[in-house]
Structure 1
C-alpha cells in the first residue's frame, strides 16, 4: 500500500531594509524600505524614448508616483493597498525631469505599423525606437540607469503576433512576401535588392520581443510601457480594463528600481553557496537546416541576482517524445559558462547547484552538466511541471493553502504554489488551484529542501510587487527569455543580466 505524506511548507520570509522580515513585498517595502545595498541607485536616472505625447504622459505619471495614491474602494482584497510615494517606499528620489529624452515621430510610427506586410510593419516600427536609442549612445556619453520606452496603443495593437490591420487602413507593401522570400532562399535565386527584404522575415513578428532582442548588444535595460498604462487605461477613444493606479505604481516602480540596479528584497533564510539554474528552450524553424531549437539558461541566486546565458542553436527538440535535450558537448559548454560566472561573482564555485527544467535530463546531457561542475559542488536536477489532473479540497469555503504538499515518495511530490493565503485572506485565482509536480530526477537531496527552495523562488519576481507567483523565477520567465533569444538572428549574445530580458 502506497503511503503519501501530506505536509505544509511555511510561507517564506523576505528580507528588507537592515534585515527586517515580512512575507509580502508591499509590507516590507512600506515598513522597512528595500534591502540596503551599496549597489542601490542614489536616485532614479531614467531615460525616456517616446512620441511627444508619450514623453508628456511619462512626466505626468512620475509626478503622480512622487505623492500618495489611494487604494481603490472596490476590487479584490490583495490589490487594496495605497501607494505612499516613491521616496517613502524606496528612500531615493525619482526626479520629475528625465535624465534624458529621445523623441520619436508619431506620424512615422503610425505609417510604419500600418504596412500590409506584418513582418515589414513591426521591423520598421521597432527601427524607429532602436535608431533613436543608438543615436543617443553614439552622440552622448552620459547613460541613464534604464530606459522607459513609451509606445502608443496602436503599436501594441498591431505589433503583436497574428495582429492584422483592417484592409481599409493598410498601407500597401512593396517588398516580397514571406512565401516568395522562402522560395528565393530555397532556390538560391536572390538579387542584391531582395536580400534585405528576406532578412526581415528572420525577425519575430512581436514588437516587444524584437525590440529587446535588437538592442541586447547595447546592454541597455528597457521598460516597455503603453501610453494608456500611464494614464490608467483611459486615453482618447481607447478604453482598457487594467490594474488600479496604486497597483500600477507599486508594480512599475518596483521593477524600475530593480532595473536601475537596486535590490528590492531577498530571501531571508539563505543557504550559502546555492545557485539555481533554469533551462530555456525555444523551437525555431530555419529553412534548409536541421537545427530546430535554441537553448539558454537563467542563473539565479537567493539574492535575486540573475544572468541569462545563450547556448547554441541545434537539433535539441525530439518529435518522438516532445522534449528538449542537449548533446553532451553543448551541455558542458553551457554549464561551464554558469559555473565561471558564479566564480567571478563569489570567488569560488557554488556548493549546491540546482538545475530546473520542464523535461527529464537524459544521460548524455547530464554527463555534460556534470563534467563542467567541480567535485565540491552538489549537482541536482529537478523536473517541474504544471499539473491539472489532481485536485485537493479542504473543509469549508476556502481552497487548499498555498504551500500544501503531498510527498509521493522520497523524490517526488505535488506542491501547491497557489492557493489560499492567510496574509491576503483570499485566494487570488478563479478556479480550484492546481499543484506543480516536482521530481528529483538527478542527484541526491532532501525533497523538503527542494520544496522550501521552490516556494522561496516564487517570491523573487521583481517585475511586480505581488505576493508570489505560481512558478519559481527559474521557470517563470523561461518562455519569454526564449522568445527574445530567438526574436532576431543573433549569432553571439554575451551573458547579460536577467533584467535586460523582462
Structure 2
C-alpha cells in the first residue's frame, strides 16, 4: 500500500469564472470573485500615524515592485487589481494625541497600561459609531512604536520613564474584593484598586486584547505598526525597522490590500474545484493561563466552506487539557453544543444539511467526544475526523538540483494515513515555500470513513484560503492555520462573551 504520489495544485476561481493556481495572477488578470464599490476607511492613531497611513495608500495606487526578487510578483496598484477605490481622501480620522498616550503608557503594570490604552482606542471607535452618521467598512488601527514595545506580555518600561505606580501586585489583584468602608477617602482608594484589579482579567497584549474587546461590537479591524507602513523611517528611536521590506515591498502591498478588501466585504477568490455541500471544521484549543485549574482551556470551532467564508463558534471553558498527554478533549455536552452551533449555522446559510463534515484537529479524537459529535450530526451527513500534525518528521530529498521536493508530494502509508508536503518547490514561481528542507504534515483519518486521496486534495486546497496574506499557499490548511491566534484572542479576557462571528473579525 505504501507509495509516493503527487497531488495536483488546486485552482482558485476569480471573476468571469476564470481559474488559476496563483491568487496574485488571478487578481491581476481577471479581478476578484465578488467586487465592492470601494473601501471607506476609519483610522485611529496619532496625526503622524494618519500621515503614514495616507502616504502608504497613495503609494499602493501605483505599481509597487520588489527589488532583486523575481519570485514574488510586483503589485499592479490597488484599483488595477481590485477594480474599486481605496483613497486617502476618503477617511474618517479619530485622533490619539501624545498626551493621551503618555497619560496611560508610563505605568509600571503592563496589564494596567495595556488595558487603558486599548480602552482609549476602543472609545474612539465606539464614540464614532454612536455619534457619526457615516458607515465605515474597516477601522485601521495605527499603533505607535512605543505602544507596540511596552504593551506586550512581560514587557517592561525603563525605570526612568515610569510616572505612575501600580496599586496592586499581580498576585493580590487576582483575589482582590472591594468592600465599602466607613471612610469616603478610603472608599475612593479601594475603588481605584478594584478598577485596577479588573485589568488583570485581560492579557497584556495590545493586539489580542483590542481584537477580543471589539468582538461584541462586530467591527472589522486591521492593526498596523507605524514602522510597518513607514519602514524606511526611524520613528522616535523605536522604529528602526527590524526587517528590510525592500525585497518584498510588492508582497507587502499584496497582503495589506487583499486583507483590507476582504474585511471590507469583498471576496477575492474561492476554491476552483467545488465539492458541493461539504464543510470543514477546525478545532481550536487554548489553555487559560489566568485560571487556577491547569486543565482549563477555551475551545472553539472554525467552519469553512468552499467559497472561503469562515465563521468562529466559541465553546465553553472547561478542563479540556490533559497535562500528562498534552492533548485537549471535550466532554459530551460541550462537544455536542459546539458542533451543533456549526451545523445549525450551515443549515441557516444553505437551507439544508451538509453531505460531509470534516473535523480537523491537531490531536486524535477520543471515544467520548467522537460519540458526542456523531450524536449531534444529522442522518445522511458523513462525519469524518482528521488529525493533522507535525509529530512524525520524515524527510525526502531529491537526487539532484538546488531546490527541495515539490509541494504536493505525498507518501501514502495506507488507506487512512499519509504524509503530505504542503511546502516545497513550486514550478509556477520557480522557488520554494520553505527556506529549509521541508517537513510534511502527518494526515490521519482518525474517525469515520473517507478516501485518503480526497482528504489530501482537500487539505491542499485549504492551504489557499488565507485572505489575510495574498501568498501562493500556506503550510497549513486554513482550518488550523489561525487556531493559535484565535485561541489567544478568545482567551485574552475572561470576560469575553461572543456569538458566532465571521472569521474576518479575528484576523
TM-score with structure 2 setting the length: 0.94
Question: How do 1:346-495 residues align onto structure 2 when only pairs under 5 Å count?
Answer: 346-387=350-391, 389-396=393-400, 397-495=402-500
Q: Check whether the contact 1:251–1:463 (CA below 8 A) recurs between aligned residues.
A: yes
Distance 1:249 1:287 in 2: 40
The question of whether the paired residues in 2 share the 8 Å contact of 1:11 and 1:403 is answered with yes
Moved more, 284-293 or 382-391: 284-293
Q: Residue 167 of structure 1: which of 159, 172, 176 is its match? A: 159
Tell whether 2:158 aligns with 1:157.
Answer: no
How far did 1:322 drift? 1.2
1:356-389 Cα deviation digits (max 9, x unpaired): 0011111111111112211111110000002463
What corresponds to 2:46 in structure 1?
51
1:132 alignment counterpart: 124
Residue in structure 2 matched with residue 294 of structure 1 by the alignment:
298
Corresponding position: 1:66 with 2:61:
yes
Cα 1:163/1:368, change in 2 over 3 Å: same
SS in structure 2 at match of 1:364: helix
- State how many pairs are aligned: 494
Give how far 1:171 is off: 2.6
Match of 1:32 in 2: 30
Is the counterpart of residue 200 in structure 1 residue 199 in structure 2?
Answer: yes
> Which whole-Å CA distance do the structure 2 matches of 1:223 and 1:367 have between them?
39
For residues 174 and 77 of structure 2, the distance between their equivalents in structure 1, rounded to whole angstroms, comes to 53
Q: Secondary structure, in 3 states, of the residue corresponding to 1:367?
A: helix
Q: CA deviation at 1:197?
A: 1.7
Give the C-alpha shift of residue 233 in structure 1. Answer: 4.2
| CA displacement at 1:78 relative to structure 2 | 2.7
Contact 2:178–2:191, Cα closer than 8 Å, also in 1 = no
C-alpha contact 1:232 1:245 (8 A) present in aligned 2: no
2:212 match: 213
Query: Is there any run of 5+ residues in structure 2 with no aligned partner, and where?
Result: 182-186
Question: What's the counterpart of residue 21 of structure 1?
Answer: 19
CA distance in 2, matches of 1:388, 1:55: 48
Q: 1:159 to 1:290 in 2, by over 3 A?
A: closer
Contact 2:288 2:296 in 1 (8 A): yes
Please give the secondary structure, in 1, of the residue aligned with 2:210. helix
1:78: which partner in 2? 71
Contact persistence 2:212–2:496 (CA under 8 A): no
2:184 is aligned to: none
Quick one: which of 485, 498, 503 aligns to 1:498?
A: 503
Q: Distance in 1 between matches of 2:244 and 2:125?
A: 29
The answer to whether the Cα contact below 8 Å between 1:292 and 1:314 also exists between their aligned partners in 2 is yes
Query: What is the RMSD computed on CA atoms of the aligned residues?
Result: 2.0
Is the CA contact (8 Å cut-off) linking 1:325 and 1:362 kept in structure 2?
yes
Q: Which of these residues, 251, 255, 271, is aligned with residue 247 of structure 1?
A: 251
Contact 1:6 1:406 in 2 (8 A): yes
Please state how far the C-alpha of 1:28 moved relative to its aligned partner.
0.7
CA distance in 2, matches of 1:135, 1:316: 39
